[in-house]
Structure 1
Amino acid sequence: MRFGILGPTLVEDGDGRRLTVGGPGLRALLALLVTAGGEVVTTERLVDGLYGARPPGGAVNALRSQVARLRRLLGDTVRPHPAGYRVVVDTDDVDAHRFQRLAAAGRKASDQGDHARAADLLAEALQLWRGPALVDVDAPFAAAQAARLEELRITVVEERIEAELRCGKGGSVVAELRELVAGHPLRERLYVLLIKALAGAGRQAEALAAYAEARRLLADELGADPSPGLRAVHLAVLRGHLPALPDAVATGGPDRPGRPVRPRTLPATIGDFTGRLDHLATIHRTVKDVDADGGSLAVPIVAISGRAGVGKTTLAVHAAHDLGAVYPDGQLFASLHAGGGDPAGPTQILARFLRMLDVHGTAIPDSIDERAELFRNLLADRRVLVVLDDVAGEDDVVPLLPGSRNCAVLVTCRRRLPGLAGAVRIDLGRFEPEQSLDLLSRLVGGDRVRQEPAPARKLAELCGHLPLALRIAGARLAMRPHWSVAQIADRLADEERRLDELVHGGMAVRAGIWLMHDALSAPARRLFRLLAVLDAHAFPAWAAAALLDQPLGQGQEHLEELVDAHLVEAVDTGRGAHTHYRFHDLIRGFARQRLASDEPAAQRSAALRRALDALLCLCRAAAGPVLDDRLRRRDRAPAWSPPPDLVEEVRADPTRWFESQHRLIVAAVHQAARGGLSDPGLGLAMAVRQFLIQRAYHDDALAVLLATLRATRRAADRAGEAAVLLELGTFASGLRRYADAEGHLAAAETLCREVGDEQGVAVAIRGQAFVHYSRGRTTDAARLFRQALATVRSLGVETEIAYILQVLAGISLIHGDVAAAEQLAPDAVRHARASGNPRVLAQALHRTGQVHLRAGRLDVSAGSLDDALALARSVGDVAGEAHILTDLGRVRLRLGRTTAALAALHQARDRAGTIHDPLVRGHAMTALGEAALAHDHPRWAADCLQRAAEHFRRADSRIDLIRALVALGDAQRHAGRHDAARRSRDEAERLVVRRQPLADPSASPAMNCFWSRT
């Protein structure tokens, strides 16, 4: 059978006859199953996709009934599974999957220089479209799928046109490009192609005019300059020629759509790799056999097991480098550190992989299942090699497996993985004697080994023929050219205990570490053991100086001595504040033993305090004006302060610094909590929490706050406990967990009153007010906001004053009191500017734009919203950006700038689609619905508003839901759906009456505001 979702739902049987799939529910079920491409769709995913986050009672039974109807129509094509259901179909028989396959083939042909074939393949892919994707499917899952497919479609159109341009067909695509530019005015790549097409057709003046129009539009709409790619094409036209441009320029820059990033995160392979040729051949054969087997759909997996020090990671990394040409779309590497250190689980590794694949911030889902699905989807049409090092077991591996046979996976583990189905297993043993001698020859020189053959063989035996032990001994010999091989062999033999452990393998590396440790200078030896004070597996360069209580440069010298001795290694390519180092896990264990035996407890505690204080200074520098510094008043002087140039380096790019250091910070918070160091732990938690929340590291944020809460309670630190409860309440409120938020905030208010923290009391009341506001209880919210405002005004806390004033302005708008909002909004902006907090200033300017919009001052509103948008973008506030773009689109609609308005609204929808926040998505869809209704498209409007209402239900935002339902009823009435319109109106009215009793003085103005359009 053949299925189509690129347009109205299509089903054809084997004879080409079209089958009618009756009913919207049945179409939605079929579309959801078909998009899975033959994979099992779980019952939970089906219910969520068909009914949303709050399915009705009996949803599972209704689903089974629909499946039964679908099976009567399609027969055994729809099959049950213990976990759910699947459609048995070849992916080429589903137009969406065939479209993506043809598009990938077109890109490959283009990469190989066959642009004519690329153009044909891409055109064939586009011919599969019969209209907007999933156009007749009305279900919660459909909007995101349709948006994703539409983005793929326009990208393929761009790629097809570019291929035709490279074939010299510029004149034939000019008209099409002009139409595309009009429909997508902010896609710079389309302007690049239009300029190239015009110039290629000899129409230089028109090409220059097109560039001028693009530059004007970008300046007017976004306040941005043209990209380097657009400027490069313009310059080429000015010079009178348009040479073939590199891909990154021809498509508008390195972040071009449709050209996925190609991550290369493998550690460097070693130049003296020795032996293991049979194992390398097994790995290559596994990949090539699977690749050649057209009937196999399995992902090739090679599981390498063996004891510590046997060279599992070295083999995997070397093989991965060998296979670089086979997997041109990237190589992903992750170490799960099952043997010790700071372990990372599949949830965290998936987040790292997604960021490497250009998925950032809140676009990364919270749950491991959703992260795994997104990861598999991103790799579906790519050839990527995944290397998972030092896993604990099968559970670590399964979520990280790609879903496509185009990819392959190499796994290393200290034990066998019998539960990893379909994996080719390699049990890595010790070197053969000749391989050990070969490795020693590469390390210390063949002449030295040949001159002392017996001592060399003895040394290899003492090392247990383990590669890591041989490398350590060989490195020590190489550093001491005046030593004989017999000398180092005798050193090992002198320690009978060491010899016994070395032969058995478990202590094999320890003997080598002893040799290297003994050769260090005294300060380097002390640094070696003090580094083991830190729980984090990786540590920054400045930590050496903090632990030793020395200047930065001096600490760096001792650290480099450890690097030269192969006792620590650099783990990324960052410099300055971003450089990191780590122990090998076995060497770390040795360092901890030396720490316990050689360093007094008081010295250990002092070193840890210095490291935590230094980290806290840098965190506060990175947090800047966003940081609530109420607790600094009780701070003591730091035990070690980072130098000013390091602090300035952190301030120059705080987001990048937090991104590179957040695992260290999280580990430090937990370590401080366990060690009873509540003050630095609390400071670190307060400094990092905003970054973790804004970048959607929700798991880490919650863990940090809970660990700090436990620490403050153990220390009987009531003020600290109150501060953490305030953060927990704000965090829960942001995630729409209102019951949790109310509990935390109420407890925080009580504690703040006990300790006399007036600002803390105000913040707690403000947080409770926001919960009331989000739940639609605006009168209660306004009362509490004003109570908090009186306190923060008396204390002069500018950030809090600005935030509360702008929310009160919003409540005034809800109640229809525009005059009050006009007084509150400018005051909010003034205090926000005084606070120096760019995020709060963006919020105040956004609210001011809303007030001007409501008052009919459209040009002034647009100016405020433009300023707010620039600020939101400067701090990476994607949710704020989407909200502001939504209102900017509304203003432009009323100004009659329809094209610019739709561009802003579509951009708002796209930005909302990158984050998992139903409130932001609901606002974007509401604005699109209103725009559609204003342009006499009531059915499209009703569809957008129905989706908006579902988002607001998920967010539990009553006020927004009421607004969306009112607008939905209006759209349904214009579309002739009077019964549906009545139901929408009735639901909205019930919500107003239930949440705003008629005795409530705000009820009547709210009703007047909500029902003004009807």
Structure 2
Amino acid sequence: MGQLDIRLLGPFEVRRDGWVVPVPGRKVRALLAVLALHCGRTVPVDVLGRALWADDPPQRLRGSLQTYVGRLRRVLGDDAIATEPTGYRLDLPPECVDVRRFHQLLDAGNPEQALTLWRGDPFASAISPWLEEHDAPALVERYLTAWEQLPDPDIPELHKLTTRYPFRETLWLRLFTALRDAGRSAEALDRYETFRTHLADELGTDPTPELQAIHRSLLQGHPTDTRQGLPHDLTRFFGRDEELLQLDRLLRSSRLVTIAGAPGAGKTRLSREFAVRFADRVVLAELALAPSVQTAVDEALGETDPADLLLILDNCEHMATAAAELVGRMLASCPSLRILTTSRVPLGASGEQVYRLPPLAPAPAIELFADRAALVAGAHPQDRSTVDLICRRLDGLPLAIELAAAWSRVLSPRQILDRLTPLLQDAPGGQRTMSAAIDWSYHLLSAPQQLLFERLAVFTGGFDLAAVEAVAGLGDELLGALTGLVDHSLVLTVSLHDGHVRYRLLEPVRQYAASLLGDSPSLRARHAAHYLTVAQQGDANLRGPDPAATLIGLQPDEANLLSASSWARTQPGDLVLRLATATAYFWEHRAYVNDARSRLEEFLDRGDPALRASALTRLGRLAWRQRDYAAAKAAYEQSLALRLQLGDEPGTARALRNLALVAASTGQTSYAVELCQQSIARFRRSDDDQGRGWTLTVLALAHFEDGEWDLGAERYREALTLSGSNGGSALALNARLGLAYAAAATGDVRTHRAQLTAIVAHLRKASGLIEDPEWLWASTSLAAAEGRHHAALRLAGAATTQRSGSPEPPPR
């Protein structure tokens, strides 16, 4: 019959003499998997019954099993399976089963060879919950132990394993030691901080003493290295050695240095190169598209300690006064902080040293042109004297040189020079040189490329292909025109972590395009309409099962959402209110609650009753988040009146629930209960279980306010039942949080931990732990109840600061 090979360590597979043998049927595969695990030994009938039917075996178990054994014999051969009085036995050598070989190799002290047998999750496609519960965990444990025992493990694989098994501390220990032994201590320190934060956030615990010991050894052997916000440049950096040394000298004598220069002079790239070469701890804050200097700095720093830090503020010219005020306060409060800024003009701050960036020297300028030309043409230009003339005509401005070099695919250096010369004859200043270089590139574009280039000026910050298609038009010519602009370095591509590509224009290039575009109301209208659609879809998804992923997806479009809203303010009609309503939840998640409230309040009169009702609902929510309960109640009452006027039954039920939430938050529990009962009755009439479930959670809060913990827990259990089969839904997680609070209040630590464990498990599946601090408060109380006081303090601090700008009170 040939040599059989039964593979269970990964996708289920049977081979005979190297050829795949089909094993049809889920139960037949499960039967073979169980028999193979016990190859050569009799497996009792009741064990096989549980493996195939779990807790619901057929009445004639032996007869049903015999049917599947017969099918399996037709695949393996009649002699492969023996029938015994108590069960069945697979009569094959143990070496025919990869699990048995795996155990033999590990027992013989050969983990390297044993791990080569592992192809994925055990019993995949065998489909037997019994196998997954009873046999898979032990196999996974031996697999992980084998990895931990390897003398020279593969570091990328260890990274994957720690991601998949984030709480297995022995794996993390192996990763840290492997990175240390490979001379990558800085990376080991960074991964340790990730692991420590993960433990604190999700379990409220600290790493083991053994892990803390290796962390101390890493700190002693390697300085802490912080590099936040610094992008990885994909192109080579040329020259500027003297400039880098001069910056180093200036920052040693002054704690505030500004690199000043014309557009395209290379200020940004020089600051980043300085950070890479001279600074161990550096944070970069981009100001070009930020709503304010304070916001950009806060987001860039996060929780980083500013002591002994180099903070880079890039593109300060449009916020120079505000930047000067902020850096003055920061430098005064932190004596070891240093700040490097880039700007077209000095900030005018006290103690500021201004370094005016000179042109790129001739030799590195030629190297820069040659390098960028080779990227598009495939070879370095041979005519160095002509390239030298081009660079001199362009005043040594790096961006202008790169734009000129981008035409090397279709033009020789001499042709580039001939076309540049007339444009540059009357442009002695650096800024005019930059403008002339862009102008020259623009006039070499095709008509569709020119049209697209002008229209791209409507975008603020980056944009994706869908946005270009919706806003810029051009039909079938779009992709070709966009490709041409990328090829000519007028449009840059940015690859995101999820594999998608976005595009952007450098600010000098965008300003030139904007000067050509003018006002263009129709284009602005298409831009606003597109981002209204983006906002509306995001608004729906932020209230769905995975708000964290939605938030990450919306953030790159933040500048365009602001730009669309600003333009809509100047237009008649309800567009501005629709944008304010659709973006309210997004700005709430981004902690811009004041701005979101002011936009809704200012334009409430712009919409029809249905739109105003939605806007008032969001306004009430924002006010409630800020504990402005009077404003929240007023907004919700107006929304309720409009819903009743419209005959909107589900909307009316939601408005009643919102009013009940405000009543419960202000101690009016009897009124809250009455409103909840009205809401539940309306949801029941419309057969809306989810809506009824959410109202039950508010009713439970009202009971909690009255100290009726058991009654509140009962309402939360009803809500959990109504959440359906999706245990990771927002309603299910909210209900579990309520049950955790009830358990904490009544001293039931076991139930408290069980509910929080379920919550964290689901949140991890949904793109990480969402930013609502409620589960952190619940974890804080659990840590305190279990005597983990250090963890409780840390969790309380995280919960308190989770929503900067819109603090929520601790649960009462």
Could you tell me the TM-score, scaled by structure 2's length? 0.63
Question: Structure 1 pair 465/853, CA: closer, same or farther in 2 (3 Å)?
Answer: closer
- 1:399-798 → structure 2 map (5 Å cutoff): 399-400=326-327, 401=330, 404=334, 406-418=336-348, 420-428=349-357, 447-450=382-385, 456=389, 460-461=392-393, 463=394, 466-476=397-407, 479-481=410-412, 483-492=414-423, 500=426, 502-504=427-429, 506-534=431-459, 536-549=460-473, 558-570=481-493, 574-577=497-500, 579-596=501-518, 602=522, 604=523, 607-608=526-527, 611-612=530-531, 615-616=534-535, 619=538, 622-623=541-542, 625=544, 653-675=549-571, 678=574, 688-694=583-589, 697-699=590-592, 701-708=593-600, 710-711=602-603, 713-714=605-606, 716-798=607-689
What is the CA–CA distance in structure 2 between the aligned matches of 1:661 and 1:310, rounded to whole Å? 28
**AA at the equivalent of 2:544:** P
Contact 1:678 1:712 in 2 (8 A): no
Question: Structure 1 pair 265/569, CA: closer, same or farther in 2 (3 Å)?
Answer: same
Contact 2:669 2:703 in 1 (8 A): no
Tell me if 1:300 matches 2:195.
no
- Partner of residue 348, structure 1: 295
Contact 1:869 1:885 in 2 (8 A): no
**AA at the equivalent of 1:421:** S
Report deviation, 1:868: 4.0
Deviations 1:947-968 (A, max 9, x none): xxxxxxx9789x94xxxxxxxx
Q: Secondary structure at the match of 2:350?
A: coil
Contact 1:883 1:908 in 2 (8 A): no
Report deviation, 1:811: 2.8
- Partner of residue 379, structure 1: 306
Alignment root-mean-square deviation, CA: 4.6
Q: Secondary structure at the match of 1:594?
A: helix
- Partner of residue 316, structure 1: 271
Contact 2:285 2:311 in 1 (8 A): no
Report deviation, 1:803: 2.2
Unaligned regions of 5+ residues in structure 1, if any? 1-203, 209-223, 291-298, 360-374, 494-498, 628-650, 894-900, 921-953, 961-1014
Tell me if 1:883 matches 2:777.
yes
Count of equivalent residues: 611
Contact 1:825 1:851 in 2 (8 A): no
What is the CA–CA distance in structure 1 between the aligned matches of 2:803 and 2:286, rounded to whole Å? 36
Question: Structure 1 pair 616/837, CA: closer, same or farther in 2 (3 Å)?
Answer: farther
- Partner of residue 280, structure 2: 328
What is the CA–CA distance in structure 2 between the aligned matches of 1:264 and 1:917, rounded to whole Å? 20
Question: Structure 1 pair 596/404, CA: closer, same or farther in 2 (3 Å)?
Answer: closer
Q: Secondary structure at the match of 2:702?
A: helix
Q: Secondary structure at the match of 1:914?
A: helix
Deviations 1:546-605 (A, max 9, x none): 334589x9856643432221212235654544x4332222221222233349xx754x25
- Partner of residue 396, structure 1: 323
What is the CA–CA distance in structure 2 between the aligned matches of 1:417 and 1:652, rounded to whole Å? 37
What is the CA–CA distance in structure 2 between the aligned matches of 1:617 and 1:726, rounded to whole Å? 15
Contact 2:323 2:347 in 1 (8 A): no
Report deviation, 1:608: 2.2
Contact 2:263 2:431 in 1 (8 A): yes
Q: Secondary structure at the match of 1:537?
A: coil
What is the CA–CA distance in structure 1 between the aligned matches of 2:175 and 2:286, rounded to whole Å? 46
Contact 1:725 1:748 in 2 (8 A): yes
What is the CA–CA distance in structure 2 between the aligned matches of 1:251 and 1:423, rounded to whole Å? 33
What is the CA–CA distance in structure 1 between the aligned matches of 2:364 and 2:169, rounded to whole Å? 53
Q: Secondary structure at the match of 1:769?
A: helix
Report deviation, 1:622: 4.3
- Partner of residue 719, structure 2: 828
Question: Structure 1 pair 707/836, CA: closer, same or farther in 2 (3 Å)?
Answer: farther
What is the CA–CA distance in structure 2 between the aligned matches of 1:872 and 1:449, rounded to whole Å? 59
- Partner of residue 170, structure 2: 230
Contact 2:771 2:803 in 1 (8 A): no
**AA at the equivalent of 2:588:** I
What is the CA–CA distance in structure 1 between the aligned matches of 2:577 and 2:724, rounded to whole Å? 28
Q: Secondary structure at the match of 1:426?
A: strand
**AA at the equivalent of 1:588:** R
**AA at the equivalent of 1:411:** T
Deviations 1:285-320 (A, max 9, x none): 223x44xxxxxxxx6222222343444334433433
Q: Secondary structure at the match of 1:539?
A: coil
Contact 2:660 2:673 in 1 (8 A): yes
Contact 1:229 1:249 in 2 (8 A): no
- Partner of residue 263, structure 1: 227
Contact 1:310 1:430 in 2 (8 A): yes
What is the CA–CA distance in structure 2 between the aligned matches of 1:626 and 1:251, rounded to whole Å? 30
Contact 1:443 1:478 in 2 (8 A): no
- Partner of residue 139, structure 2: none
Contact 2:257 2:341 in 1 (8 A): yes
What is the CA–CA distance in structure 2 between the aligned matches of 1:236 and 1:430, rounded to whole Å? 45
What is the CA–CA distance in structure 2 between the aligned matches of 1:427 and 1:249, rounded to whole Å? 39
Q: Secondary structure at the match of 1:227?
A: coil
**AA at the equivalent of 2:514:** R
- Among residues 781, 787, 792, which one is paired with 1:902 in the alignment? 787
Report deviation, 1:226: 5.6
What is the CA–CA distance in structure 1 between the aligned matches of 2:392 and 2:698, rounded to whole Å? 73
- Among residues 286, 294, 307, which one is paired with 2:250 in the alignment? 286
Question: Structure 1 pair 743/408, CA: closer, same or farther in 2 (3 Å)?
Answer: same
Deviations 1:103-148 (A, max 9, x none): xxxxxxxxxxxxxxxxxxxxxxxxxxxxxxxxxxxxxxxxxxxxxx
What is the CA–CA distance in structure 2 between the aligned matches of 1:236 and 1:429, rounded to whole Å? 45
Question: Structure 1 pair 319/746, CA: closer, same or farther in 2 (3 Å)?
Answer: same
- Partner of residue 158, structure 2: none
What is the CA–CA distance in structure 2 between the aligned matches of 1:285 and 1:919, rounded to whole Å? 40
Unaligned regions of 5+ residues in structure 2, if any? 1-144, 150-163, 197-214, 374-379
What is the CA–CA distance in structure 2 between the aligned matches of 1:440 and 1:236, rounded to whole Å? 43
Q: Secondary structure at the match of 2:263?
A: coil
Contact 2:673 2:699 in 1 (8 A): yes
Contact 2:372 2:406 in 1 (8 A): yes
Contact 2:370 2:381 in 1 (8 A): yes
Q: Secondary structure at the match of 1:263?
A: strand
What is the CA–CA distance in structure 2 between the aligned matches of 1:404 and 1:713, rounded to whole Å? 47
- 1:832-911 → structure 2 map (5 Å cutoff): 832-833=723-724, 838-849=729-740, 863-871=754-762, 874=766, 875-885=769-779, 888=782, 901-903=786-788, 907-911=791-795
Report deviation, 1:720: 1.4
Report deviation, 1:913: 0.8
What is the CA–CA distance in structure 2 between the aligned matches of 1:398 and 1:809, rounded to whole Å? 48
